[in-house]
Homo-oligomer: A and B are copies of this chain.
Amino acid sequence: MEKMSKRRIKLVIHYDGTAYHGWQAQCDVDTVQSQIETAIEKLCGCEAKLIGSSRTDAGVHAMGQVAHVDVDTPVPTKNIIRSLNRYLPNDIVVAGAEDVDEIFDAIRSTTSKLYRYTIYTGKIRPVRKIRYCWHRPGKLNIPKMQQAAAKMLGKKNFKSFASAADQRESSVRTILKCDVIENKPFIHIDVEADGFLYNMVRNIVGTLVDIGRGRWQPESIDEILAAKDRAAAGPIAPASGLCLMEIDY
Closest CB in chain B relative to A97 CB, distance in Å? 12
Chain A residues numbered 112-141 whose CB sits less than 8 Å from any CB in chain B: 124-125, 127-128, 130-132
By CB atoms of chain B within 10 A, which of A16, A93, A128, A130 has the most?
A128
Q: Let me know if A91 is at the binding interface, CB within 8 A.
A: yes
Name which residue of chain B comes closest to A62, CB basis: B127
* Residues on the B chain within 8 Å of A61, using CB: 127-128
**A15 within 8 Å of B (CB atoms):** yes
A95 within 8 A of B: yes
- Given the complex of chains A and B, what is the CA–CA distance between A74 and B63 in angstroms? 48
Chain B residues with CB under 8 A of A130: 16, 90-91
A68 within 8 A of B: no
Query: How many angstroms from the CA of A61 to the CA of B129 in the assembled complex?
Result: 12
User: Do B85 and A128 have beta carbons less than 8 Å apart?
Assistant: no
A42 CB to nearest chain B CB (Å): 18
**Cβ of A188 < 8 Å from any Cβ of B?**
no
Partner of A128, one of B63, B95, B124: B63
CA distance A63 to B14 in the complex (A): 27
- Most B CB contacts (10 A, CB to CB) among A14, A125, A243 go to A125
A92 interface residue per 8 A CB criterion: yes
Q: Name A124's closest neighbour in chain B (CB-CB).
A: B95
Which residues from 93 to 118 on chain A have a C-beta closer than 8 Å to any C-beta of chain B?
A: 93, 95
Bound form: Cα–Cα A9–B122 in Å:
24
The interface bits of chain A over 36-69 (1 if a CB of B lies within 8 angstroms of the residue's CB, else 0) are 0000000000000000000000000101000000
Q: Which of A3-21 contact B (CB under 8 A)?
A: 14-16
User: Across the interface, do B124 and A93 meet the contact criterion of CB distance under 8 Å?
Assistant: yes
Query: Complex formed: what's the CA distance from A124 to B243 in Å?
Result: 18
Partner of A14, one of B14, B16, B124, B132: B124
Please report the C-alpha to C-alpha distance between residue A138 and residue B29 in the assembled complex, in whole angstroms.
Answer: 36
Would A92 and B16 count as touching, CB distance under 8 A? no
User: Which residues in B have their C-beta under 8 angstroms from that of A93?
Assistant: 124-125, 127
Q: A14-B124, A90-B125, A95-B124 are in contact. List 18 more A-B contacts (CB 8 A).
A: A14-B127, A14-B128, A15-B127, A16-B128, A61-B127, A63-B127, A63-B128, A90-B127, A90-B130, A91-B127, A91-B130, A92-B127, A93-B124, A93-B125, A93-B127, A128-B131, A128-B132, A128-B243
